[in-house]
Chain A
Amino acid sequence: MDGLRRGVGDGVRVAVRALVYAVVGGVSLLAVVTVGSVLGPMVVLDLATPAMAAWWTVFTAVAVQGIPFLLLGTVVSAAIGAFVPERVFKRVLPRNPVLAVPVAGAAGVVLPGCECASVPVADSLMRRGVAPAAALAFLLSAPAVNPVVLVATSIAFPGDPAMVGARLVASLAAAVVMGWLWVRFGKEEWLPSVRRGGGGPAAAGGWRGFRDGLQHDFLHAGGFLVLGAAAAATFNILVPRSLLDVFTGSPWLSVLLLAVLAVVLCVCSEADAFVAASLTGFSPTARLAFMVVGPMVDLKLVALQAGTFGRAFAVRFSSATWVVAVLSSVLVGGWLL
């Protein structure tokens, strides 16, 4: 009886609250519309320029494209956090981080998504006691070497299986080298989430923990995805791709140029092979660099990493990864292409 009354009371409270929200929201909306219709014409003309419209389209497109993969990543990471006990990873991965790095890099094959999914998963792996070096190797290799991406690459470069092989080898090599560099030079204090160790007050196991973790991680990473999407859209509008044809002359410059382009364009790893294939004026090695760097370092990823692991980490890690990925694609490109 008491419970029922309480339930009714709660219902009324929610209804009142919703009403208040609706009224406040409605009034402010009306105010905005009134002001807008007075000042509107000038502002709207500005907003409705084709460039602005294109910006909004690219911005929403990157966000819409990223959200299903981000959700997949956060579901996997929340499930790892809530249901997989630490000892599982201890048993599967070699104890020595130097050996665990290549194993984790190769394990990247199993996560069929683009780079948005791998950041939360790597984070939850670290919290579950996986050596940061191994989790980072997984973070870098997963978006680059999974079957979906490799198939897309082979479709984009028909009759050129060497490109698929080169992409696989160069990406794995870069991921493993980054993992080993972390073993040798990495500092725990760059990774605040690990330093604190697994399990906070709300990191409960079971469904409740799963739901809370999922909700929090999705909203958190989603915010950074939006930030990255805004950056990507801005560069997309500011840098016409046709400008690139000017720089196709020097082979070295073109490798560096495409490696920078991969960072600013933030093309999803499942699509970057098609974009690379369309950059016809560039050497195969330069296109390989575009495909190796893109899934490992781009503005959207840096934003996601800064949000998940902290800014100090994201800046150091991304710049080192960029250098390693470029070197790896130059070496592999010289060998295979």
Chain B
Amino acid sequence: MSRRPRVRLRPQGVLLLLCGAALLRIALFGELYLRYVKEGLRPYLVASGAALVALALLNLLTRTAPHDEHDHDEHDQDEHGHDHTRTPRIAWLLTAPALALLLFPPPALGSYSAEREEARVAAQGAGTFPELPAGDPVDLTLGAFASRAQWDTGASLAGRTVRLTGFVTHSDDGTWSVARLLVTCCAADAQALKVEVRGETPPPADTWVTVTGTWHPTGTPGTPAARPVLDATSVKRTTTPTDPYEKR
């Protein structure tokens, strides 16, 4: 009795297709991947997505040779590993992130994470900084503003009007800050950058704003008393940038 080769919808193929489609959706057909990882990973995500889809199509469209038709089913004697045609049960977990990305991509981290984290600025030690670029107001990243406010003994921020962009966070003590998260590799390592804003009424948390104002010195640079604070002259709402995190 010879069984005919046939084309089947195999679970491996479906799983691979889901994973590949999810990667392609966030990295190739949009900018959603920036919510989770760095820009530099994009080519790898696209390549992996394409490879997974190709593998899935090969799996779904090729005919199975008749002799290995019998060993596809979930239960067999082999505990693990060598029967490569079987779908490992743990693999079904992959559907969770894949479907999440396809159906309801989780949002970028925002004020919830920023509020829980102490604002940090990379340890640099006090010293002088190069002149700020020309421009009035001058656009600065939160990291640049914060490190100059905390470490610059040359007070390069003094007398300059700066413009910062980030989302709104509120603190328990009633102050509010414009914040952004610094992501090195993926969202799991996000660190908060915050600049306290004074002199304007706070918008609701997680609103993206552009704040214009001047530096408010709080203490000698290099000591813990020096915190990044801005005396705001205007707060404008803005749209969420494509890359919600600050570049390092």
Contacts and interface: CB of A to CB of B under 8 A. Distances in A.
Given A60-B101, A67-B48, A227-B90, A222 B112 contact: no
Contacts of B157: none
B45 A68 contact: yes
B18 to A, nearest CB: 11
B188 A265 contact: yes
Contacts, number: 197
Interface string B25-63: 010000001011100010011011001100100110001
A307 interface: yes
Interface stretch (B117-125, B160-168, B213-221): B117-125
Contacts of A10: 6-7, 63
Interface residues of B, number: 72
B109 interface: yes
Contact-residue size bin, chain A (C-beta under 8 Å from the other chain): 35 or more
A156 B91 CA distance: 35
A62 B90 contact: no
Interface string A93-137: 000000000000000000000000000000000000000000000
B83 interface: yes
Contacts of A53: 106-107, 112
A213 interface: yes
B85 A212 contact: yes
B185 A220 contact: no
A229 interface: yes
Given A14-B8, A65-B188, 14 more contacts: A56-B100, A64-B23, A64-B45, A65-B37, A68-B41, A192-B79, A193-B81, A200-B82, A201-B82, A202-B85, A213-B84, A216-B84, A275-B184, A280-B120
Interface of A: 6, 10-11, 13-14, 17-18, 21, 50-51, 53-54, 56-65, 67-68, 71, 192-193, 196, 199-203, 209, 211-216, 218-220, 222-224, 226-227, 229, 232-233, 236, 240-242, 245, 265-268, 270-272, 274-275, 277-278, 280, 307, 310
20 contacts: A6-B4, A10-B7, A13-B6, A14-B7, A14-B8, A56-B106, A57-B109, A60-B100, A60-B106, A68-B41, A202-B85, A215-B55, A219-B15, A219-B91, A223-B92, A226-B97, A245-B118, A265-B188, A266-B188, A274-B248
Interface of B: 4, 6-9, 12, 15-16, 19, 23, 26, 33, 35-37, 41, 44-45, 47-48, 51-52, 55, 58-59, 63, 68, 71, 78-94, 96-97, 100-101, 105-113, 116-118, 120, 122-123, 184-189, 191, 248
